[in-house]
Each structure stands twice: as structure tokens, then as C-alpha cells.
Structure 1
Amino acid sequence: MTIDELRQEIDRLDGELLRIFNRRAGLALEIGKIKKERGLPVYDPTREKAIFERMKGENPGPLEDGAIVRLFERVIDESRRLERIMTHRDESQEKE
């Protein structure tokens, strides 16, 4: 393959990742709503550790396990941040 063809494939994969990240975030928001209803905290270290361990176990490479964990930490951090923003926004609307 040429550089241009490889870059086109990367662009296609980036589009897939974008859709997947947003779908994942939407699901995290749904979980956030349930957690709020049940009075559960947004942060669940046991769940996050399980995700990291599962991803390391499924990692075929070439990315090292540490890189996989860092990537998933970032994705989870952003999902958690979004949950907090939406929860705060919902609480503000309820007070009005």
C-alpha cells in the first residue's frame, strides 16, 4: 500500500473510533442516570480496574499494555467528566 492509501485507512478508522467513543459516552450517560437514581458514586474504581485488566488480557499488540491502559484511562476519564457535567446540569434544572 502507498502512504496515501494507508492514511486513508487511518482516516476511516478514526471515523469509526469517533462513532464508537460517542456511543460509549452515551451509554456511560445512561449508566450515570441509573447511578444517580440509586445514589451511587460516579467513580467506580473496581469497575475501572476490571476494564483495564480485561483490555490488557485481550490486547494483541503492537501497543503495549501500558499504552492500552493509558488510552482507556483517558476514555473513562472523559466519560466520567461528562457524567458529572450532565448530573450537575440535571440537578440545576430540577432546582428551577
Structure 2
Amino acid sequence: MTIDELRQEIDRIDSELLRIFNRRAELALEIGMIKKERALPVYDPKREKKIFERMQADNPGPLDDGAIVRLFERVIDESRRLERIMTHREATAGKEEQ
């Protein structure tokens, strides 16, 4: 393959990652709403540990396990941040309605 063809493939993969990241964020927000209803904490270290362990076990490379954990830490951090933002917005909107 040429460099241009390889870059086009990377662009296709990047678009797919974008779709997947946003779908994952939607699901995380749904979980966040359930956690809020049940008064559960946003941060669940046991769940995160399971994710990291599963991703390392499934990792075929060439990225090493440390890289995989760092990537998933970032994805999870952003999901958690989004949950907090949405929770804050809902709380603020609720106060404005009173």
C-alpha cells in the first residue's frame, strides 16, 4: 500500500473510533443516570480495574499493555467527566425550576 492509501485507512478507522467513543459516552451517561437515581458514586474503581484487566488480556499488540491501560484510563476519565457535567447541569436546572 502507498502512504496515501494507508492514511486513508487511518482516516476511516479514526471516523469509526469517533462513532464508537460517542456511543460509549452515551452508554456511560445512561449508567450515570441510573447511578444518580440509586445514589451510587460516579467512580467505581473495581469496575475500572476489571476493564483494564480485560483489555490487557485481549490485547494482541503491537501496543503494549501499559499503552492500552493509558488509553482506556483516558476514555474512562472523559466518560466520568461527562457524567459529572450532566449531573451538575441537571442539578442546576432543578434549582432554577424551584
Q: Which residue of 2 aligns with 1:42?
A: 42
So what's the TM-score if we normalise by structure 1? 0.99
Partners of 2:43 and 2:88 in 1: how far apart? 15
Q: Which residue of 2 aligns with 1:71?
A: 71
CA distance in 1, matches of 2:35, 2:92: 17
Question: Unaligned regions of 5+ residues in structure 1, if any?
Answer: none
Distance 1:44 1:92 in 2: 24
Q: Which aligned segments of 4 or more residues in structure 1 are displaced greater than 6 angstroms?
A: none
Name the count of aligned residue pairs: 96
| TM superposition shift of 1:6 | 0.2
**Deviation string for 1:27-77 (max 9, x for gaps)?**
000000000000000000000000000000000000000000000000000
TM-score normalised by length of structure 2: 0.97
